[in-house]
């Protein structure tokens, strides 16, 4: 069996027709859902690209791997999906985005050269690279956001697209009176990107994926990782005008939310992004473009799935379709992600397992609490490996796919956010070590613990599914907060770094109790096994003269 690990970037869990979106039809992704299981309570380990992805690729919590925000390097030696799959005899390839920043200092300390096989895998998050393109090719006075080469920009140039950065001036810009109408300005979100649709980012990456699969030797794992529907919010024709204001779903927010709000939530709403998305004209420009980007993604899924079906790969490939986090789009007076309301912290998660063992669950949904790192564990098991649960903190989703009771279901989900280098950290002047948030969610409740002396946030998911009433300071809910803090602290005490010895090896130590001559608490030889006594006897050897 092969593994196709499809990840979109900033795709909301509820912007799919199979997830209930009223005006955005995604028949191809829905088709995958009809052939597999759609998880309705899937949480990202962090509502920000870099940290979420480092968790997805290591199967470990953000606090465990430490790469807590975008471009915080993943420490050298941290084991990844690629390491585990290769141990199980499966290659693990990257096609698209990882947002991985290499631990250059650590690699130098260990003498690892980036151009060695080992060094390259360390630098690319454990993947072998078919095509890496992190998808953000912006440039400013301080230089490019991303120093690497962009295969996508090279593709556009090879096709004859003009200018030094066709990603910026074609794929992510429209045209107005012959002038560049940059996609960085949201007022341009309703314009058609100045690129032929087949040459835009999503079809290009899909072609890369198909080219990879065409030549891949089974068993393979391919991480097909799209930058879209991530901003800049602009999409080529015909997707740019498929949706209009009437297609926008009602905004999820209440004026009450911003009356005497939690100081950290307030700081996010008062930043430029929050203020901008609080305005209806911004949402009315951006959301139709965002929907168009998703529609294009869905059409490309149709193309990819058709290819898999015609080649027979649909029958021997496990397909996971998910996202690294969501997008507020103005809900809760927020834009982007960063906090833990559902639009930001929940992710779409569809798992298609071609094996007959999964036939019973095809087309069903699963409401169990699951996390992004559970996908990692699922892949290791699907590849025939044993999940090394002293390293990988995810729990295989396999029981949910076969419709059998999960031996170790989650009674709470954890997500984390480190805002130590986010403008909010600066605005609130919170020291880097304290600029950290922890979410613990059950089916009924969501608590957000804030370091730095702030009160927690609390939402009643059953009676306030839209999370409009923060009960974090309400004395009536002290017991509920205590219950959720108990979950958080049980988790916080986990042995996440005891990664060099497995529980099985520990059990073996207990059973064997190696006899290596060390005697503890023994007064005389009568207390030890007769067959051992001879070792401690004999004529006393003479000392030298």
Residues 61-80 that bind a copy of itself (CB under 8 A): 63-68, 72-77, 79
Tell me the two tokens of residue 222. 């391919």
Lay out the site mask for a copy of itself across 402-441 (x = CB under 8 A, - = otherwise): ----------------x-xx-x-xx----xxx--x-x---
Site for a copy of itself (CB under 8 A): which residue of 162, 214, 407, 479?
Answer: 162
Site for a copy of itself (CB under 8 A): which residue of 57, 155, 204, 231?
Answer: 231
* Closest among 411, 410, 428 to 419, alpha carbons compared: 428
Of 462 and 533, which has the nearer Cβ to a copy of itself?
533
Lay out the site mask for a copy of itself across 320-359 (x = CB under 8 A, - = otherwise): ---------------xx-----------------------
Site for a copy of itself (CB under 8 A): which residue of 1, 120, 129, 175?
Answer: 175
Q: Does 143 bind a copy of itself (CB under 8 A)?
A: yes
Q: Quick check: 80 and 125 in contact, CB under 8 A?
A: yes
Q: Which one of the spans 245-253, 292-300, 315-323, 534-542 is the region binding a copy of itself (CB under 8 A)?
A: 534-542
Going from the C-alpha of 55 to that of each of 28, 125, 254, 372, 445, the distances in angstroms are 28, 11, 33, 8, 23
Task: Indicate the pairing of strand 91-96 with strand 128-132.
Answer: parallel
* Closest among 35, 81, 83, 40 to 379, alpha carbons compared: 81
Q: How many residues bind a copy of itself (CB under 8 A)?
A: 128
Q: Does 160 bind a copy of itself (CB under 8 A)?
A: yes
- Whether residue 325 has a cis bond before it, omega within 30° of 0: no
Of 216 and 492, which has the nearer Cβ to a copy of itself?
492
Q: Does 145 bind a copy of itself (CB under 8 A)?
A: yes
Query: What's the alpha-carbon Rg for the chain, to the nearest Å?
Result: 26
Q: Which residues of 163-186 are buried (b: 16+ CB within 10 A; e: fewer)?
A: eebbbbbbbbbbeeeeeebbbeeb
Of 138 and 360, which has the nearer Cβ to a copy of itself?
138
In the complex, what is the shortest distance from the CB of residue 379 to a copy of itself, in angstroms, rounded to a whole number?
Answer: 19
Q: Which one of the spans 88-96, 182-190, 299-307, 399-407 is the region binding a copy of itself (CB under 8 A)?
A: 182-190
Of 116 and 315, which has the nearer Cβ to a copy of itself?
116
Residue 369 bridge partners (DSSP):
none
User: To which residue do tokens 């911003």 refer?
Assistant: 258
Q: Quick check: 163 and 194 in contact, CB under 8 A?
A: no
Report how far residue 426's alpha carbon sits from residue 429's, in angstroms, rounded to the nearest whole number: 5
Q: Quick check: 88 and 380 in contact, CB under 8 A?
A: yes
Residues 242-301 close enough to bind a copy of itself by CB under 8 A? 271-277, 279, 282, 285
Of 137 and 212, which has the nearer Cβ to a copy of itself?
137
Site for a copy of itself (CB under 8 A): which residue of 132, 170, 230, 395?
Answer: 170
φ/ψ of 149, rounded to 5, equals -80, 150
Q: How large is the greatest C-alpha to C-alpha distance in the chain, in angstroms?
A: 104
Of 105 and 462, which has the nearer Cβ to a copy of itself?
105
Q: Does 535 bind a copy of itself (CB under 8 A)?
A: yes
Lay out the site mask for a copy of itself across 190-229 (x = CB under 8 A, - = otherwise): ----xxx---------------------------------
Report how far residue 163's alpha carbon sits from residue 464's, in angstroms, rounded to the nearest whole number: 51
Of 153 and 361, which has the nearer Cβ to a copy of itself?
153
Q: Does 544 bind a copy of itself (CB under 8 A)?
A: yes
Of 475 and 541, which has the nearer Cβ to a copy of itself?
541
Of 159 and 303, which has the nearer Cβ to a copy of itself?
159
Q: Quick check: 350 and 321 in contact, CB under 8 A?
A: yes
Q: Does 106 bind a copy of itself (CB under 8 A)?
A: yes
Task: Indicate the pairing of strand 91-96 with strand 349-352.
Answer: unpaired
Q: Quick check: 200 and 297 in contact, CB under 8 A?
A: no
Site for a copy of itself (CB under 8 A): which residue of 123, 136, 293, 342?
Answer: 136
Lay out the site mask for a copy of itself across 472-511 (x = CB under 8 A, - = otherwise): -------------x---x--xxxxxxxxxx-x--xx-xx-
CA angle 309, 294, 146 (to 5 degrees): 100
Tell me the two tokens of residue 520. 């503890």
Q: Does 241 bind a copy of itself (CB under 8 A)?
A: no
Of 149 and 462, which has the nearer Cβ to a copy of itself?
149
Of 69 and 212, which has the nearer Cβ to a copy of itself?
69
Q: Which one of the spans 39-47, 314-322, 367-375, 522-530 is the region binding a copy of itself (CB under 8 A)?
A: 522-530
SS3 of 389-445: the string is CCCCCCCCCHHHHHCCCCCCCCCCEEEEEECCCCHHHHHHCCCHHHCEEEEEECCCE
Report how far residue 270's alpha carbon sits from residue 268's, in angstroms, rounded to the nearest whole number: 5
Q: Quick check: 377 and 392 in contact, CB under 8 A?
A: yes
Site for a copy of itself (CB under 8 A): which residue of 26, 58, 122, 322?
Answer: 122
Q: Does 184 bind a copy of itself (CB under 8 A)?
A: yes
φ/ψ of 523, rounded to 5, equals -85, -50
Where are the strands (E) in 169-249, listed by range?
173-176, 179-182, 220-225
Of 285 and 313, which has the nearer Cβ to a copy of itself?
285
In the complex, what is the shortest distance from the CB of residue 291 to a copy of itself, in angstroms, rounded to a whole number?
Answer: 19
φ/ψ of 358, rounded to 5, equals -105, 5
Residues 437-476 close enough to bind a copy of itself by CB under 8 A? 438, 449, 451
In the complex, what is the shortest distance from the CB of residue 96 to a copy of itself, in angstroms, rounded to a whole number?
Answer: 19
């Amino acid at each position: 069996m092969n593994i196709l690990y499809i990840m979109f970037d900033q795709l909301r869990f509820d912007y799919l027709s199979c997830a209930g979106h009223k005006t955005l039809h995604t028949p191809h992704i829905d088709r995958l859902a009809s052939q597999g299981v759609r998880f309705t309570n899937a949480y990202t380990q962090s509502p920000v690209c870099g940290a979420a992805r480092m968790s997805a690729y290591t199967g470990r919590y953000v606090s465990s791997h430490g790469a807590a925000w975008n471009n915080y390097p993943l420490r050298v030696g941290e084991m990844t999906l690629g390491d585990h799959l290769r141990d199980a005899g499966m290659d693990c390839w990257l096609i698209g985005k990882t947002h991985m920043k290499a631990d250059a200092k650590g690699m130098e300390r260990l003498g690892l050269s980036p151009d060695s096989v080992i060094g390259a895998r360390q630098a690319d998050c454990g993947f072998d690279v078919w095509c890496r393109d992190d998808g953000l090719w912006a440039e400013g006075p301080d230089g490019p956001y991303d120093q690497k080469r962009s295969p996508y920009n090279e593709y556009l140039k090879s096709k004859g697209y003009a200018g030094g950065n066709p990603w910026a001036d074609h794929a992510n810009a429209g045209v107005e009176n012959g002038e560049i109408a940059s996609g960085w300005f949201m007022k341009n979100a309703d314009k058609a990107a100045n690129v032929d649709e087949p040459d835009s980012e999503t079809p290009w990456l899909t072609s890369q994926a198909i080219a990879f699969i065409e030549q891949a030797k089974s068993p393979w794992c391919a991480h097909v990782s799209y930058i879209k529907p991530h901003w800049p919010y602009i999409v080529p024709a015909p997707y740019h005008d498929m949706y209009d204001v009437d297609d926008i779903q009602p905004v999820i927010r209440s004026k009450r939310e911003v009356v005497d709000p939690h100081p950290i939530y307030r700081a996010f709403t008062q930043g430029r992004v929050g203020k901008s998305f609080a305005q209806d004209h911004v949402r009315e420009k951006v959301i139709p473009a965002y929907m168009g980007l998703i529609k294009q993604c869905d059409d490309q899924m149709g193309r990819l799935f058709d290819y898999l079906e015609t080649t027979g790969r649909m029958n021997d490939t496990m397909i996971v379709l998910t996202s690294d986090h969501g997008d507020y789009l103005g809900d809760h007076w927020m834009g982007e992600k960063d906090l833990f309301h559902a639009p930001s912290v929940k992710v779409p998660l569809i798992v298609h397992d071609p094996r007959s063992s999964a036939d019973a669950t095809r087309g069903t949904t699963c409401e169990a609490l699951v996390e992004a790192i559970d996908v990692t564990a699922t892949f290791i098991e699907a590849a025939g490996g044993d999940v090394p649960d002293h390293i990988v903190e995810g729990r295989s989703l396999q029981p949910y796919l076969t419709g059998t009771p999960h031996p170790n279901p989650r009674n709470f989900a954890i997500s984390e956010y480190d805002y130590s280098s986010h403008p909010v950290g600066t605005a609130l002047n919170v020291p880097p070590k304290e600029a950290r948030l922890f979410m613990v969610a059950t089916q009924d409740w969501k608590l957000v613990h804030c370091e730095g002396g702030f009160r927690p946030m609390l939402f009643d998911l059953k009676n306030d599914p839209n999370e409009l009433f923060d009960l974090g300071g309400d004395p009536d809910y002290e017991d509920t907060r205590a219950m959720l803090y108990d979950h958080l602290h049980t988790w916080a005490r986990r042995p996440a770094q005891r990664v060099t010895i497995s529980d099985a090896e520990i059990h073996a130590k207990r059973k064997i109790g190696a006899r290596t001559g060390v005697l503890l608490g023994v007064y005389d030889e009568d207390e030890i096994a007769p067959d051992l006594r001879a070792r401690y006897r004999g004529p006393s050897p003479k000392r030298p003269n």
